[in-house]
Amino acid sequence: MIKSFQKMFAILSLFSMDRTSLAISEIEEELSFPKSTVFRILNTLENGEFIIKNQENHRYSLGHQFFRLGSIYQSQLDFRSVALPIMRELAAKSSETIELNIMDGLSRVCIEKIDSTLTVRNFVRVGEQQPIHLGASGKILLAFTNNEEKERVLSVLGKELGRKEQDLREDLVSAYEKGYAFTKGERVSGSFAIAAPLFDVSGESIASLTLAGPIQRLSEERENILIQLLTKSAKEISKRLGYLQTK
């Protein structure tokens, strides 16, 4: 019985945003399951309205029961509660302060945090607002927001920044290409911050995950380790929010 469930989950895992229907031959080829086994599992799923068979081309697609269950899951989903366990793990592994930030106009707002247990640490308050263009947290949010909103913000900031607007644009391009932002002493002297975007099921960037601490604890080797820890944690949170990474 357990093996049957494992095979059923393997078949369902073949569906994606790019492949919304499957033929029995495709499932056979990818999973090497006997045709009789594939047919039996699909028939069971079809009877439960989890799978729909197109009678014209004999391809199978997901049924309305998955939409119903997905809607229930989405309605109870609070991305802070999803992020918090991973933030705690990241704080324990890094010994640094971990933040969750969202974009609010020309500012970024901290909505959750885990403080470092070390005496010398980065201090942040939940609800605290900071300029969107200063520091890794805001830059990564701005880098991954939609182009229309990004240009609106940059046009407003351009009046304040003057010639430095081009520097900001270059920083945003770099952060987007790397998948994270890294700053040293930009907002708070003597501190560093690394931030990565969080994505929801629709692929929209909804928040940033940030790791921050004093520069005195930063070496080139540790910098690379912290970047890997931070980006891996951000990807795990996005995955739990339903985001399917395509790259």
CA 22/CA 213 separation, integer angstroms: 49
Rg of the chain, C-alpha, whole Å: 22
* pTM score of the predicted model: 0.68
Domains of the chain plus CATH, in order, are 2-75 (1.10.10.10), 79-240 (3.30.450.40)
pLDDT for 150: 86
pLDDT for 24: 93
Distances (CA, A) of 171 to 56, 142, 151, 177, 227: 52, 10, 14, 10, 17
pLDDT for 72: 63
Which candidate, 122, 97, 132, places its Cα nearest to that of 189?
122
pLDDT for 153: 86
Spans of the chain, pLDDT less than 50: 247
Which candidate, 129, 120, 78, 142, places its Cα nearest to that of 99?
129
Give the pLDDT confidence of 85-121 residue by residue, as tens digits: 999 999 999 999 999 999 888 888 888 899 888 776 6
Which candidate, 83, 122, 74, places its Cα nearest to that of 102?
83
- DSSP code for 101: E
